[in-house]
Amino acid sequence: MKLRKGRAIGALFLIIMIPLVLFIACTSHSKNKNSSKVKTTAAEVKNLTTSVTAPQTAEVTTTITTIAHISSPSCHGAAVYSPDSGQIIYSDNIDKRTAPASLTKLLTASVALKYLKTTDVFTVGSEQWLVEPYSSLCYLEPGNVLTLKDLLTGMLMSSGNDAAYTIAVSTARKLHPEKELTDTEAVDIFCGLMNDFAAELGMKNSHFVNPDGWDDDDEYTTISDLLKLAGYAITVPEIEEIEGTFQKSVDIISGEHFDWTNSNLLLDPYSDYYCKEAFGMKTGTTLNAGHNLIAAFRRNGRTYITVVVGCEYDEDRYELTLKLFDKCR
C-alpha cells in the first residue's frame, strides 16, 4: 500500500514538474529570440542615423463628399483635403492626369531638403542656360553665391525656375562628388530622385523630368497625388515658413540683394483675394496646365488643403479656392 502511495506521489510530481520545465525552457528561448530582435533593431537604428530619413507618407483616405459641386469658376479639377482626418471632403476629377506646372517645386524643395542642409552654400553656374525662355524667375545670375535656404526662398516665393535648376544640379553634384557631371546629367539624376521621392509618398500616377514644372509630355501628375505631396510639404518647417511668407529681403553671401514677393495672392494683404487664414502653398501656370493653385488654410484649429488645376484665368483659381475654403466650417 505504501509502495503504491509512493508511486502515486512520484507520478504526481512528474505531472507537475514536466510542464514547469517546458515552460522555463520556452521562456528562455523566447528571451533569446527577443534579445536577437533587440540587437537587430539597434543595428537598424544605427544604420538609419547614418542614412537619409525617408519621407512620412501622407495618409489620404476615403473621399467623403461634404461640399456640393461648384461649377463656377470652371476648372479641370479640384479638391479639398483635411490632413487632420486624412479625408478628401471635396472631389472633382482628382485622378485625371494634369500638367503640374510650378506645383512641381514643392517636390523639388522636399527632395533638396532630404539630402542637404539649409546652410549648405552653392554657386549659380552654367545650369542657368537650361532655364526655358519666358520662365518665372527670382533673377539669379551665374557667380551668385548663396545658401540652400536662399535658393528655396527664391524658388518657392517668386517661383524662380532659375533657382530650381541651381538646386537640382547642386544636389546631384553634392551627392556624387566623385563624378564630373554635366548640367544635364546632374538634372537627370535629380529628377530620378524626385521620382523616387514621389513614389515613397505614394504618388502612383506622377512622373517628373524637370525640377521647375515646365511643360513636357512626360511631366504629369494628378490631384490625388498632389494632395499627398502637399500633405507632406506642410510638415516640413523650412517649406512651411517660406511658402507662408508674402515678402522677404535677402542679402546673399556674394553681396547681391534681392527682394522677393510671393506669387500666391492669398498672402497679399493688398489683393482682392487676401485671406488671413491662408499660410501657403504654391502657384503654377503653364500653357498645358492652365492656372493651378495649392493652398493651405487654418480655421478653428483645423488645417485644410485645397487644390485647383486647369483654370482658364489667373483670378479663377483664387475665386474657386476661396469658394471651396468658405465651405469648410
Q: Specify the DSSP element, H or E, that contains 252.
A: none
Q: How many C-beta atoms lie closer than 10 Å to residue 110's C-beta?
A: 21
Predicted TM-score (pTM) of the model is 0.82
Task: Of 220, 270, 224, 272, give the one whose Cα is nearest residue 247.
Answer: 270
Domain boundaries, the chain: 77-326
CATH superfamily ID and name for 77-326: DD-peptidase/beta-lactamase superfamily (3.40.710.10)
Label each residue of 144-168 as H, E or C: CEEEHHHHHHHHHHCCCHHHHHHHH
Q: For 185-212, b where at least 16 C-beta lie within 10 A, e where not — what string?
A: ebbebbbebbbebbeebbbeebbbbbbb
Cβ pair 124, 143 in contact under 8 A = yes
Identify the pLDDT of residue 67.
Answer: 81
How far apart are alpha carbons 291 and 316 in whole angstroms?
A: 8
The strand pairing partners of 102, in sequence order, are: none
Identify the pLDDT of residue 3.
Answer: 37
Identify the pLDDT of residue 62.
Answer: 61
Identify the pLDDT of residue 198.
Answer: 98
Cell matching residue 284: 503654377
Identify the pLDDT of residue 56.
Answer: 60
pLDDT along the chain (329 residues), means of 10: 42 44 40 34 31 56 73 94 94 97 98 98 98 97 98 98 98 97 98 98 98 98 98 97 97 98 98 97 98 97 97 97 92
| N residues, the chain | 329
Identify the pLDDT of residue 99.
Answer: 98
Identify the pLDDT of residue 33.
Answer: 36
